A = this chain, B = another copy of it.
Amino acid sequence: MRLGEGVEWGLHCCVTLAWLEQEWPVPTGRLAAWFDLPPEYLKKRLQALTRAGILASVPGVRGGFSLARPPERITLMDVVAAVEGPVEPFRCQEIRQRGVSGLGAASEFRRACGIATAMRRAELAWRRELAAQTIADLMAAAPAASAERTRRRYAQMGG
C-alpha cells in the first residue's frame, strides 16, 4: 500500500498558503519553485484540491490559488481525500460468496463479512486520526521561525 506523493505536496502547499495569506492568490509556478516540483503536475493536484473546495482558484494574469477556508477548518483527512480520490484501503470483493465456499450459505451472508469489518475498523482509526488534525495544527507545530522566514523569502523571489 502506498499513498501518492501528491499528498505531501498538497499538505505543504496548504501550510505555505496559510502563511502567505497576505500574498493571495499565489500562482502554481511560485509554489513549484518553492519546493522544486514539476509545475504542471503540481497544478493538476492543486486543481483536485480546488474541486474539493479546499483551495480557491483565480484565473487570469494575476491569478493563482488561495485557501478557501481558514486553516482551522481544513483537516488532513480533507486534503488526503481530495488528492487521492475516494480513499478505501481495503475493498471487500466478497470472495466468501464465490466458488465452493459460497454454496448453500446464503443465510450467513446476511451478516457483513467479518474480515471486511475488521479491516474497516483499522481504516476508521486511521481516518479518525487524520480528521483530528488541521492545517492550523501543522502551523503551530512548525518551528517558530518558519512562518516569518517563509514570508520574507517569498517576497525576495521577486515579481
Which chain B positions have C-beta within 8 A of A95?
Answer: 8-9, 12, 35-37
Interchain CB contact under 8 A, A96 and B12: yes
Can you name the residue of chain B whose Cβ is closest to the Cβ of A99?
Answer: B36
Report how many copies the assembly holds: 2
Q: Is A1 an interface residue (CB 8 A)?
A: yes
Q: Is A103 an interface residue (CB 8 A)?
A: yes
Q: Is the interface of A mostly helix, strand, loop or mixed?
A: helix
Interchain CB contact under 8 A, A98 and B5: no
Q: How far is the CA of A4 from the CA of B90 in the complex (A)?
A: 8
Q: How many residues of A contact B (CB 8 A)?
A: 65
Interchain CB contact under 8 A, A143 and B111: yes
| Min distance, Cβ A25 to any Cβ of chain B, angstroms | 18
Which chain B positions have C-beta within 8 A of A84?
Answer: 1
Q: Is A122 an interface residue (CB 8 A)?
A: yes
Chain A residues proximal to chain B, CB less than 8 Å? 1-5, 7-9, 11-12, 15-16, 33-37, 76, 80, 84, 87-93, 95-96, 98-101, 103-105, 108, 111, 114-115, 117-119, 121-123, 125-130, 133, 137-138, 141-143, 145-146, 149-150, 153-154, 157
